[in-house]
Amino acid sequence: MNWTLLESNEQWESLLAASAQRPQVVFKHSTRCSVSKVAQTRLEGSKLPENADYYFLDLIRFREISNRIAGDMNVVHESPQILIIRNGICTFHESHLGITAKEISFELQD
């Protein structure tokens, strides 16, 4: 799995714009949480659909961006958390051990 690191507000804005063309998936990860590491390992060991772009946000280092995402997408901040964004709107979000490749694949079906 190839993540694009999400490290700036400018990237976030570009991601939102790109969501008009193809789904954007954001994995919000806490380096201080064992459940977050489990979710990351499960995702990285899975084959995910190629019709989306995948972003990795270290929410400890980039808390401001994490908070902005929660506000912009009108979702409660959780960690770990996965969001699927289409046309600038969060169409799916899940957290903790509810984050599975199967569910993401289902949500990314055309």
Burial of 50 (0-12, 13-18, 19+ CB in 10 A): exposed
| Residues 1-19, mean pLDDT to the nearest whole number | 96
25-49 pLDDT per residue, tens: 999 999 999 999 999 999 999 999 9
Q: Are strands 81-86 and 24-29 parallel, antiparallel or unpaired?
A: antiparallel
In this predicted structure, the answer to whether residue 50 has a pLDDT above a threshold of 90 is yes
- In the chain the domains, ranked by start, together with CATH numbers, are 4-107 (3.40.30.10)
What CA–CA distances, in Å, run from 5 to 54, 77, 103? 9, 19, 22
pLDDT for res 29: 96
70-100 pLDDT per residue, tens: 999 999 999 999 999 999 999 999 999 899 9
| Residues 14-19, mean pLDDT to the nearest whole number | 98
pLDDT confidence bin for 110, thresholds 50/70/90: confident
DSSP symbols for 18-76: HTTTS-EEEEEE-TT-HHHHHHHHHHHTS---SSSEEEEEETTTTHHHHHHHHHHHT--
Query: What CA dihedral angle connects 70, 18, 7 and 36, to 10 degrees?
Result: 60
pLDDT for res 43: 94
